[in-house]
Every structure is written in structure tokens, then in C-alpha cells.
A and B are shown apart, each in its own frame.
Chain A
């Protein structure tokens, strides 16, 4: 049986009915990994022994007649910038190649409490800085739809693992699109919750005011299921919101009648691949046919979002990554003869070029004499972008945009960094405003998946889940398996 093709909610049913065992399922997924991982390279680290022990534990629980949580016994994959106690957490960096964390991230604690299974840690762009996984110290992950293409990033490993059947569900993190864009490139569902919905405690910080953990899954139901487990206020994260967490699976109604869907015109302008545009136009027509009302809205400061992001995110990163100094943990240059020399050499050798580029950018924009012109101005623009959304949401319940203006592109490292930065134009504003956003498969362009982004009001994941679910159930895009072609 190809259990690895199933969704978490299907497998949960089978486990509860004792049609399958968790050990059987876990073996099945590892077998799949053994089969395709050499081509996909989704993982940095696998943890088969512990995963199987945990599966056996869940099987005992089921045999004993205990009630189990929806993710219990169901193998998932964790982006390798989320701290797992005793399990290497590298951030795909030479700097942390040998880091075994002494503590679990809050989301990991919650998932463990639900008796889920961790298959291993997935590849990412180094410290989540990138949109392709090409900046990973451990090599690039490949897009299961065409192995010559990037899977997107930075959560490219988590997305590729889902698309290739190497995990049932996975966690990513999203600072400027790092969950939604790879989900879009690999035909998965990926949601970035409202900033503060999920505790960031244990997610190695890239840009603290933007980072948010979220699921990448095969369908919307699984995304809601994982969200149910990982959301909630955490005493270890001051920015986590002290609000009640709804049962997100209850929001999954097949009905968009009367919903007002806004189309921000700035997202459908130049730079948008006509094939992507055509697929989205069709999706919009589908929504209209299903009873939603379509309105055009404007987010006038959209054109400043990317440059604003590339000031704020590197500024925060320059401080967040300062702790990697070779003193307490991580890579250390052993030839240095003084502490300052050791730190400089360790950072020079331990970080890759994209990370260093962003640290330099961030250091520059915070420097005395430049702070007002760059950082302060960017913070002001960020407020304007947030206000744009507030205005738009006076006219609609949610927004519909492309997730990415393009489909997955080749792994060749030929793209100019600045051109890649600009491709995050649809996802970045959502992080700047702290809003929830989901990417759902909307169709295929020349055999490659195209994602549609739905953006919700603050803390209104439910509306975008409902709209995404309705669309998904009316189509079969999420049921198509990636062919692992190319090469």
C-alpha cells in the first residue's frame, strides 16, 4: 500500500480503525524516502530510530484503546531552523552543522504532546535567507514536479518532502513568503498564520517581527489540523497573542456564497507570468460561479514592500545572527589566537555569501547616520502598507492574489539576487502587515503547479481556510502526484 500518498486526516481514520499501524505507516514513508530522496534532497537529517520508537508507542496507545490526537502516529517533517532537543538543527548552515539543541521549540513540545512522529529535519536556504534552497550549505533541494527546477524557498525541503511523498505533513517558517512560495512551486497547501498566532520560541530567528511558523500539507484539511496543534499563546514568546484558538477544521465549509473577495490590482500588473495570470483568472471565475462576490481593490504602497522588507529583515537579522560567534556553540575557527580574531574568522568561514550579504545590509541600514534614512523610513512605510490592507478590508472579506508571479524556475544559480528578491512581491506585504496568508494549488501551467494566495484579516485564518477548502474541493489539483520528472 502506498500510504505515503495519503493525507493526515485519511491516515488518522485508518489508524483509529486499526486498518493500519503507525509503525507500518512510518516504515512506508521511510521506504519512499529511500526511494526518492537521492533525487529530491528534501532532508538534512533523518531520525528513523526515534521515529519508529514513537510509532510503536502510538500503536500501543491505540491497542490500549486510548483516544489519540489527529496527528498522533502520523509522520511529519520539520524545517531545520526549528529547535528539536537532541536532534541536530543546522539552519542549513556550516555555522550550525553540529548543533544539537538543548531544548524543544514550543511547536515541537505541542506536537510531541500530541504524540506525532518526526521523520527528520528538512532543508532550507541558509538561515531561511533565500527563495530556492540554493543557499543551503548542504546543497539544493529539487522540485518533485521537475527535478531540474527549484522547489522554492526558504522552506523548500518541507515543500519538496510533501510533494514527493516523503512526509505526510511538514512545518515551515515564513518571513517573506518562505512557506507560501515553495507550497506554490510544489503544488502543496501552505499557510502563514497571523503574526503571533504561533509561538516563535525555538524557531531560529531570521527577522523577528516577520517570522512565523506554519504547516505545509497536501490539502487544506491537513493544514487546519496542524494549525490546531501548533497555535496558541506561549509564555516564552511575548509576541504570541493571548487569544483563543478556534477549531480551524470547523471553518472548512464548502461554501463561499456572499464572501467578498478583493483583487488588489497592484498584484496583477507587470511582471506577472501570463500563464499564471490565466490560471488565476480562471480561479476567480470559479469563485464567482460558486457565489462569491469579486471586487477590485487597491493596495497603493505595494511597490515599496520589497525594498521595505529588504531593510527591516536584514536589520533584524544582523542582530539576530550576531550570537553565532564561535564562543558558546557552532562553528569555531581553531587557528585564531584571540577572541575577536576567532569570532571574525568563525563568522567569515561559517556563513555563506547570502547570509553575509544580508548581515552587511542590515548593519549598514542601522549604522549611525543612516538609521533615519533607511530603518526609520522603512518602519514608516511598513505602517502605510498595514494601513493599505486595513482600507482594503473595508471592502472585502479576503484578498486573492498570485502566490508568486512565476512558476518554479531552473536550478542554475543564474538568477540575479535582486531579481529573486523582487519575485517575493506578492508574499512580502502579508508579512509586513502581520496578516494570515495561504497558498493553495490553483492549476498547472505547462505541467507545473501554480499557487493562489488568499490573504485574510488579522486573526481571520478561518475565512481563508474556508475559501481555500471550497476551491480545493471543487477541483482535483491537490490529488495529482508530482511525477519526479526532469533530469
Chain B
């Protein structure tokens, strides 16, 4: 039997406010344990939360960027559960009245555009972090708690179960990340946990209308993990059904090392969170003027930027799509394009050698050693004929190592292309004199002879002769 997969994602994104959601502690990542804490985020007896308005501002901004409806009446609720990293043993969240509803993201997979619905976005606070003395909680003698992250604001973005493959889920996640970056509400660093994802997955016979029982997969810390975990889980569920079993509703965790999902808790073991309205916070009413202002201040989003790159810079759809996929790449592109007329050339380098380098080094464009200005200048040198594309690769490699300008490197390495006609004529004539047979062959219609002669000339010039000029001169002399 063939099966269809149904996937919905719940994404948590830390908001990059300066201070925490309900106190004035810093949200900075990576401080010494328990240095960004106060009576409020430590849950000291008697301490009270006060809402940081910037959290609402960012949630509105994200909601508008994701085409959501912004709800005017907002309240917070307490979500009750015991865990040592949760200082009050309840999380301040939004339950039945999320700030945003009914949004969507358009994704492209295999050249097809698809709309994925966003059910809701709500505001809440993050918990602290457990630091185990051993490798895992089970094998640890003791655990310490770091509350630096406790109270950092989050938005949870819940999608409709609209995705049908791991590739679609990945595309959704990438697009969502790009939009959150563009709107500058989140750092979206998956390794640091500022963007986290849970996936709800079920399978059903192809053509069926009723979804299968879903499993929720947690601990998906990278795009790769997301894709692998979904692929694995789909196969696991299909295998289960094929073998006559049934999928049970449960929470599973992705073990990246083992490459499999493992059961965490069943539906019966699920928490009863006993939500009720947070009495320590007054409702927040968002008026039209607030929404209008945030809307007017929205930065250019990926779709608009892509259209602009195609229109103004003449990029093709595929290139533009990939350039805008992260805000940093798009910004690098814009900056480099200020230094050259050849936007297409920049795009080719970014999507070719630059991306290859980033992948091999496992870094993002923010850490790329060549400045946009230098990359732009290098493209100029190629276009002016100063650098052949072959030599450009050499210069590129040197720029990566030294960070020097391409002009300086061309001089330093003596790589300047010979475009002086007199000098090239001299080599061409010398070569022709040495190879009369090739001239005869060429005249007899053997095109290969031309290639041979070009090769000889490049050898003599140690690769520096302008190939186009060499070609033209050879043809001229052999007529």
C-alpha cells in the first residue's frame, strides 16, 4: 500500500529583546551560570512578573510578517507543571487567546509553490537549563540548574498539518527562519537553542481523508535533524502499520547519534497543565494604531527581496530564491553588488564557490572571511579581463587565507593576466613559427589544432595570456 504523510510543526523562537519577558535581567546567551537572574526569574517568594512591552511588539511584527491576524485582547495564562528548570513550576504562556492567528507561509519544493497555514502564535517565557554531572540525566550523580535562560521571551509558532514530506517540512522551517531573521525578532540560532522545533507526524493510506494517529517528535536541533527524524519516523510508522500494529499517540525524542526516534511518554503520561489566567498580569490591549505602526515599520521580507533582485539585478528565479534564503546572505549580496555592475557574477560566486566553502567549513556567511567589497572587486577584475576565471580561483583561495584585496593579491602573486596586445602577438607568432603542421591542420578544417595552439601559448605565458585575445589573434594569423 502507498502511504501519505501528514506533518505539522511547532516552532519555538527566542525573541531578541534586551531584557527578559517579565523582569529586567539580560537575555544575553552564554553568561556564567545564574548571573542573569533576579527574584522574579528565580521565582523567589513574593516576586511578581511585569510584562516587557517589547515582547508584544516583536510578536506583532512576527505575526504580520507571517500574514497573521493580530488579536487585540491579550491575556496570559499559567501552564502548571513541575520541573527543576522551571523556577515557579508554572510557565507564563498564552492558552486560549494567542496574540496571532490564521497566518501562512508559501514554500517552494521541486519548483512547486505551496501554502502552509499557521494556526497560531503565542507569547511565553523560556525555562532554565539543567546541567548534568554525567553524560545523561539517568547516569548523573547530580544536576545543577542554570536560570540565565529562565524568563527569556519566546514565541511559539504552530503550523497547520499541511506538510506532506520531510522536504516540505524543511522548506517551511527554512522559510520561517528567514522571515524571523528578516524581521529581526530572533537570532534563530538552532545550535544555541534560540530556534527549536517539534514535529507532529502521522501516516495514512494514500487517498484517505482521516489523519492517522500522530507522534510528536522533540529535540530537532538542526534542519538536517528535522529532515532525518521525519524520514525515520515516517518509515517507522509505515513499518508498524504494515506489520499489523497501530501507531500510538506519544511524545518521542530524536536521537541524532543513533539516527532514530525513541519513545518519551505516552498520551496517558501526558501532563494536565491546568491552565488558568495569570492573575499577576493585567490584559494587554493592542490598538489599531500600534498594529499600523508595526506594519509600517516592517522590513523587506524574503518574497519582496527576491522580486527586487530579479527585477533590479536581473537575477534568475533560482538564484534569487537562494540568495534571499537567509537574511545574512541577502545582505552580503547587496553589499557586494554595490562594488560591481555584475550582480549575476556575484550570485554565481555566492551560490558556487562561496557556498561550497561555507558548507565545507560548516559556517554561515556571517563568518565568511572575504568581505563583500573584495568579492565585488574580484568579479570586476574578471570582467575587465585582468583575471582569468582559472586565476580567479587562485586569488579566491588566497583571499580566504589572507583577507587581502584581490588587487593586492594579483600584484603580489604576479597573476595579472597579459592583455597587452604586443606581448601576446609576440608569443602567438613564436608559437605559430614552432608549429607549422598545426597551421596546416587548422586550414584543413581540423578545429582541434586551434585548441592545441592555445594550450601551447598558455603554457608559454604561464596561464596569464588573455585567452580571448589569444583565440582571436590565432584565428586572424591563420586565415
- What are 16 A-B residue pairs whose CB atoms fall within 8 Å in the complex? A96-B45, A103-B39, A103-B47, A200-B46, A204-B45, A207-B279, A208-B280, A238-B49, A238-B51, A239-B281, A318-B274, A319-B80, A327-B145, A343-B84, A368-B272, A371-B274
CB of B374 within 8 Å of the partner chain: no
Interface bin, chain A: 35 or more
**Which residues on A sit within 8 Å (CB–CB) of B145?**
327-328
A285 within 8 A of partner (CB):
no
Give the interface size class of chain B.
20 to 34
Instruction: Specify which chain B residues have a CB less than 8 angstroms from the CB of A315 in the assembled complex.
Output: 276
Which residues of chain A come closer than 8 Å to B50, judged between CB atoms? 235-238
Q: Does any Cβ of A come within 8 Å of B89's Cβ?
A: yes
Asked whether A203 is an interface residue with its Cβ less than 8 Å from the other chain, the reply is yes
Which B residues, 22 to 70, have Cβ-Cβ distances below 8 Å to chain A? 39, 42-51
- The answer to whether B87 has its CB under 8 Å from any CB of chain A is yes
Q: Is the interface of A mostly helix, strand, loop or mixed?
A: loop
Q: Give B residues with C-beta under 8 Å from A.
A: 39, 42-51, 78, 80, 82, 84, 87-90, 143, 145, 272, 274-276, 279-282
Q: Is the CB of A102 within 8 A of B44?
A: yes
Question: Which of A103, A200, A319 has the most chain B CB atoms closer than 10 A to its own CB?
Answer: A319
A343-B82, A368-B274 known; A209-B279 Cβ under 8 A = yes
On whether the beta carbons of B46 and A325 are closer than 8 Å, the reply is no
Closest residue on chain A to residue B137 by CB atoms: A339
Q: How far is the CB of A125 from chain B (nearest CB, A)?
A: 16
Contact A366 B89 (CB under 8 A): no
Q: CA of A160 to CA of B39 in the docked complex: distance in angstroms?
A: 31
Counting CB contacts under 8 A, is A202 at the interface?
yes
Q: Which of A101, A203, A235 contacts B44 (CB 8 A)?
A: A101
For B281, the chain A residues whose CB sits under 8 A away are 238-239
- The answer to whether A102 and B46 touch (CB under 8 A), given A328-B87, A339-B143, is no
A103 engages B89 (CB within 8 Å): no
| Residues B48 and A328 in contact, CB atoms below 8 Å apart | no
CB distance from A424 to the nearest CB of B (A): 20
Contact status B80-A322, CB under 8 Å: yes
Chain B positions within 8 Å of A202 at CB level: 46-47
Residues in A whose Cβ lies below 8 Å from that of B42: 328
Asked if B282 and A238 make an inter-chain contact with CB atoms under 8 angstroms apart, the answer reads yes
Shortest beta-carbon distance from A240 to chain B in Å: 9
Q: In the bound complex, how far is the Cα of B44 from the Cα of A105, in angstroms?
A: 11
Contacts of B78 in A (CB 8 A): 319
User: Considering residues A83, A327, A367, which has the most beta carbons from chain B within 10 angstroms of its beta carbon?
Assistant: A327
Q: Are B45 and A99 in contact (CB under 8 A)?
A: yes
Contact assessment for B88 and A102 in the assembled complex, using a CB-CB cutoff below 8 Å = no
Among the listed B43, B51, B274, which residue makes an inter-chain contact with A367, where contact means beta carbons less than 8 Å apart? B274
Complex formed: what's the CA distance from A82 to B48 in Å? Answer: 13
When the two chains form their complex, are residues A366 and B274 in contact, meaning their CB atoms are under 8 A apart? yes
**A319 contacts B43, C-beta separation under 8 Å:** no
Residues on A with beta carbons closer than 8 Å to the beta carbon of B280: 205, 208, 237-239
Among A89, A236, A239, A366, contact of B45 (Cβ-Cβ < 8 Å):
A89
B397 CB, min distance to chain A CBs, angstroms: 53
Nearest-CB distance from A124 to chain B (Å)?
A: 13
Nearest-neighbour CB distance to chain B for A453, whole angstroms, equals: 24
Pair A323/B45 contact, Cβ less than 8 Å: yes
Q: Confirm or deny: A447 has a beta carbon within 8 angstroms of a beta carbon on chain B.
A: no
Q: Determine the chain A residues whose CB is within 8 A of the CB of B84 once the complex forms.
A: 325, 327, 339, 343
